[in-house]
Chain A
Amino acid sequence: SAVISQKPSRDICQRGTSLTIQCQVDSQVTMMFWYRQQPGQSLTLIATANQGSEATYESGFVIDKFPISRPNLTFSTLTVSNMSPEDSSIYLCSVASLVHEQFFGPGTRLTVL
């Protein structure tokens, strides 16, 4: 299994600001994903981070709000832009060689005031 780290582990932000979350993996991986878990809700896939090309976003998520970078096979960032209290969530990255075998990072707990 891969070792995945995320920074920051938590943050409290003011509405209207942006936060960039980093995901670092200790080995090269084919697939990287970004999820959101709102309070009391399930993990929801935001997008698939593609190396060298634009991320693939799920319905309900757009690049302007959640820009994603993936410059190489071990690193990705997710930015939460123009934040509102509704963006308060845990954001998780995951990595996989196969879709069914995903390993998750520890998550970033975001609170927007």
Chain B
Amino acid sequence: DQQVKQNSPSLSVQEGRISILNCDYTNSMFDYFLWYKKYPAEGPTFLISISSIKDKNEDGRFTVFLNKSAKHLSLHIVPSQPGDSAVYFCAASEGDDKIIFGKGTRLHILP
């Protein structure tokens, strides 16, 4: 049973617009959430994270929002750029336990 779900396999967004990637989780004990970005033929790279004690974390064009009551988090990219085209993985962990990954969402930034 998947504990971290990314229900949109792909998403297309116009360059300059906002990209919103969504993620749901089932384990209420998760206390740390991460987003990774993956280009073809490369390993995933860490993008941004958020602790469960916060509801928002911002880093430049990237903002992650956490809604604990809904067990939902989202990654906002503003403005979207061509280099943002990649697969984005949502991930979560409980304490120092292993990281659980979602299946990923492929983001296409359209010119």
Contacts and interface: CB of A to CB of B under 8 A. Distances in A.
Which of A4, A43, A92 has the largest number of chain B CB atoms within 10 A?
Answer: A43
Contact of A43 (B2, B42, B101): B101
A49 to B, nearest CB: 13
B89 A99 contact: no
B62 interface: no
A19 interface: no
A42 interface: yes
Contacts of B56: none
Given A42-B4, A42-B103, A103 B46 contact: yes
Contact of A102 (B41, B42, B99, B100): B99
Contacts of A44: 101
Given A42-B4, A42-B89, A43-B89, A100 B99 contact: yes
Contact of A42 (B34, B43, B101): B101
B93 interface: yes
Contacts of B101: 42-44
Contact of A105 (B43, B89, B96, B104): B43
A101 B46 contact: yes
A44 B4 CA distance: 12
Nearest to B91: A43
Contact of A99 (B42, B45, B93, B104): B93
Given A42-B89, A45-B98, A100 B43 contact: no
A92 to B, nearest CB: 6
Interface in B35-53: 36, 41-46, 49
Contacts of A40: 103
Contacts of B45: 103-104
A100 B96 CA distance: 8
Interface of A: 4, 9, 40-45, 58, 92, 94, 98-107
Given A42-B4, A42-B101, A43-B44, 12 more contacts: A9-B41, A42-B89, A42-B100, A42-B102, A45-B98, A94-B43, A99-B97, A103-B46, A104-B43, A105-B43, A106-B42, A106-B43
